[in-house]
Amino acid sequence: MIIIDGHCDSLLKVNQESSLYDLGGNSHLDIKRALNRVNLQIFAAYIDSSFKPYQSLHRGLALIEVFQQEIEKYSSLVKPVLTKKDLLTIQNKDILHVLLAVEGGEILCGDILLLNTIFRLGVRCIGLTWNQRNEIADGCSESATQGGLTEFGIKVVKEMNKLGMVIDLAHISPAGFWSVLEHTQSPVMVSHANCHQLCPHRRNLDDAQIKALSQNHGVLGITFVKDFLGEGEVGIEDVLKHIDYAVTIGGVDCVGIGSDFDGTDSLPKGLEDVTKLYLIAEGLDKRGYTGEDIEKIMGRNFLRLFTTILPE
Ligand SMILES: [Zn+2]
C-alpha cells in the first residue's frame, strides 16, 4: 500500500544535535521511522509568527536550506520529488520520497518573482496563508472582513498553476478558500484539517467546502491535531470518524491523511508517532472500507493530485 502524509513540521526539529534522520523520542517523525512505513512525506518549512513580517523570507530560506542539506546527507535513503517522473518510483518503500512545502506565503514578500526563486530551490507546494492575513489572502483568524484573494494572491495562484506547484489551503479563511477555487485551474489540497460539522473549529472545513474541494478533484488531509478532532480525550476512532464524515460528504476520492506530526503536542491516543500510521488503515478495514478505498485514503488520492499538478 502506498502511504502519503500531506503535512508534518518535523523539519523544524532539526538542530545542531539532531538530524532529520533521527530526531529522537520527543519527535513524531524522522527519516529513520518513516522509512518502510511512508512512501511520500510532505515536509513543511513553516514560518513561525515570530518571524513575520520582516524575517519571513530569511526564515523560509533558512528552512529550505536545512531541508536540502539533510536530504543531501541521506541521499541514499531519500528522494526529493520535483517532477511527475519522480513519482514513478513511489512504490519502492526502501526510499522515502519527500516533497518540500512552505507553510506561509509571507516568504514571497509580495513579489511574484520570488515564487520562481523558491521553485528553483525545490519547493513544490505553498500553504498560501497561516492563520494571519498576508499579501496573498486572509488566514482563518482574519475572517471577519471576508476578504478573498488579493490581486497579488490571484497572480500567485495563476503562476503556481503554471509552474506546477501544489496550492495548500489549510489555514486560509473561508473567503480565501472560495476565492482560490474560483481562480485555480488545478486541483488544490487542504493538507491538514478536519470536518467542521464534527468539530466546529475555525481550522476545519464545513460541508460546502468539502463538496467544493471534491468537485475541484482536490484532497483533504485529515489531521491528528487534538483540537481539530473533538472535545476531551481523543483517539484513533475520532480520526476515523472525521475520515468517514469527509467521505460521506465529498466522496472517497477527496480524502487523505495529513498528520501534522511535530506540529502539535497533543496527538490522539494510539497515534503517538509515524510508526502508528498503519493503524488508520486497519481501522478503516474494520469499518468495512474496501481495499481500494483504503488505498485511496492512505495515499492514492494524494498521488493522483501530485501526478496531476507537478511539472513534467
Ligand atoms: Zn499548520
- Distance from the alpha carbon of residue 113 to the mean position of ligand 1, in angstroms: 25
**Which domains, and CATH codes, for the chain?**
4-309 (3.20.20.140)
- Distance from the alpha carbon of residue 85 to the mean position of ligand 1, in angstroms: 28
Nearest CA-CA partner of 273 in 264, 282, 281: 264
- Distance from the alpha carbon of residue 126 to the mean position of ligand 1, in angstroms: 11
- Distance from the alpha carbon of residue 282 to the mean position of ligand 1, in angstroms: 26
- Distance from the alpha carbon of residue 89 to the mean position of ligand 1, in angstroms: 28
- Distance from the alpha carbon of residue 193 to the mean position of ligand 1, in angstroms: 9
- Distance from the alpha carbon of residue 225 to the mean position of ligand 1, in angstroms: 10
- Distance from the alpha carbon of residue 229 to the mean position of ligand 1, in angstroms: 14
- Distance from the alpha carbon of residue 289 to the mean position of ligand 1, in angstroms: 28
pLDDT at residue 167, as a whole number: 98
Confidence band for 82, pLDDT divided at 50, 70 and 90: very high
- Distance from the alpha carbon of residue 288 to the mean position of ligand 1, in angstroms: 31
- Distance from the alpha carbon of residue 290 to the mean position of ligand 1, in angstroms: 30
- Distance from the alpha carbon of residue 202 to the mean position of ligand 1, in angstroms: 13
**Bridge-partner residues for 269, per DSSP?**
235
Grouping H, G, I as helix, E, B as strand and the rest as coil, residue 43 is strand
Residue 218 in this model has a pLDDT that exceeds 90: yes
- Distance from the alpha carbon of residue 220 to the mean position of ligand 1, in angstroms: 13
Least confident of 75-79, 143-147, 255-259, 306-310: 143-147
For the residues 28-53, what does the mean pLDDT come to? 97
- Distance from the alpha carbon of residue 263 to the mean position of ligand 1, in angstroms: 7
Residue 8 in this model has a pLDDT that exceeds 90: yes
Question: Structure pTM?
Answer: 0.97
- Distance from the alpha carbon of residue 130 to the mean position of ligand 1, in angstroms: 7
pLDDT at residue 142, as a whole number: 95
d(CA 256, CA 59): 29
Average pLDDT, rounded, for the chain: 97
Q: How far is CA 202 from CA 16, 131, 144, 178, 205, in A?
A: 36, 10, 12, 15, 8
For the residues 287-307, what does the mean pLDDT come to? 98
For the residues 257-285, what does the mean pLDDT come to? 96
What pLDDT, in 10s, does the model give residues 105-148?
999 999 999 999 999 999 999 999 999 999 999 999 998 999 89
Q: How far is CA 304 from CA 12, 96, 189, in A?
A: 28, 18, 11
Confidence band for 25, pLDDT divided at 50, 70 and 90: confident
What pLDDT, in 10s, does the model give residues 42-69?
999 999 999 999 999 999 999 999 999 9
- Distance from the alpha carbon of residue 312 to the mean position of ligand 1, in angstroms: 28
Confidence band for 228, pLDDT divided at 50, 70 and 90: very high
pLDDT at residue 262, as a whole number: 97
pLDDT at residue 253, as a whole number: 98
- Distance from the alpha carbon of residue 226 to the mean position of ligand 1, in angstroms: 13
What pLDDT, in 10s, does the model give residues 142-191?
989 998 999 999 999 999 999 999 999 999 999 999 999 999 999 999 99
- Distance from the alpha carbon of residue 171 to the mean position of ligand 1, in angstroms: 7
- Distance from the alpha carbon of residue 223 to the mean position of ligand 1, in angstroms: 10
For the residues 250-270, what does the mean pLDDT come to? 96
What pLDDT, in 10s, does the model give residues 268-278?
999 999 999 99
Residue 16 in this model has a pLDDT that exceeds 90: no
C-alpha cell recorded at residue 195: 470536518
Buried b (16+ CB within 10 A) or exposed e, 198-231: bbebebbbeeebbebbbebebbbbbbbbbebbbe
- Distance from the alpha carbon of residue 170 to the mean position of ligand 1, in angstroms: 7
